[in-house]
Amino acid sequence: MTEKPPRVNPTVKCVVNTCNHYFPGDKCVAANIDILNQNVGDMSREASQTMCKSFSERSSIPNYLGSLDNKNWGGLVSALMPGQQITPTVTCVVNSCKYWDQGDVCIADTIAITGREAKECQQTDCETFEKRE
Ligand code: SF4
Ligand code: SF4
């Protein structure tokens, strides 16, 4: 029996400090993030038309335990150790991006999620998006 190749997955760097999954050092401690077209059904043509649907607004005090159903617990422990890299799995449906691949996989090495001070997922973007030619 041939073994399945490991799932391709980029490292996620995120600056959305208003999200429950944000961890200082531009880390995301969600177990998985979903990247979508901002307007469902529309094809993104630029980064601002994408969004991190897994954004979950936190209250005024940091709450790293928020959204308990989508938490990378091993990653959260690692995040407390300096120099440790943690990252969620990425599921992306933005098939107009050159990094998108079959199975809603992202083949970029690293992705940058932007939207500091965002109040809703529509204010976040996958800045790494590049339109497929
Ligand atoms: S906005 Fe998305 S990538 Fe950033 S911390 Fe929240 S869930 Fe993670
Ligand atoms: S770089 Fe492209 S394929 Fe990867 S998560 Fe961002 S929009 Fe999706």
In percent, the amount of the chain with pLDDT more than 90 equals 68
Buried b (16+ CB within 10 A) or exposed e, 1-39: eeeeeeeebbbbbbbbebbbbbbeeebbbbbebbbbbbe
Atom number of ligand 2 nearest to Cα 10: 4
- Which ligand has an atom closest to residue 49 CA? 2
pLDDT in tens, 12-52: 999 999 999 999 999 999 999 999 999 988 999 999 999 99
Q: Is the CB of 49 under 6 A from ligand 1?
A: no
pTM: 0.86
pLDDT band at 7 (very low <50, low <70, confident <90, very high): confident
How many other C-beta atoms can be found within 10 angstroms of the C-beta atom of residue 43?
13
Q: What is the Rg, in whole angstroms, of the alpha carbon atoms belonging to the chain?
A: 15
- Say how many Å lie between the CA of residue 91 and the centre of ligand 1: 13
Does ligand 1 lie within 6 Å of residue 129's CB atom? no
| Nearest one of 116, 103, 100 to 37, comparing CA atoms | 100
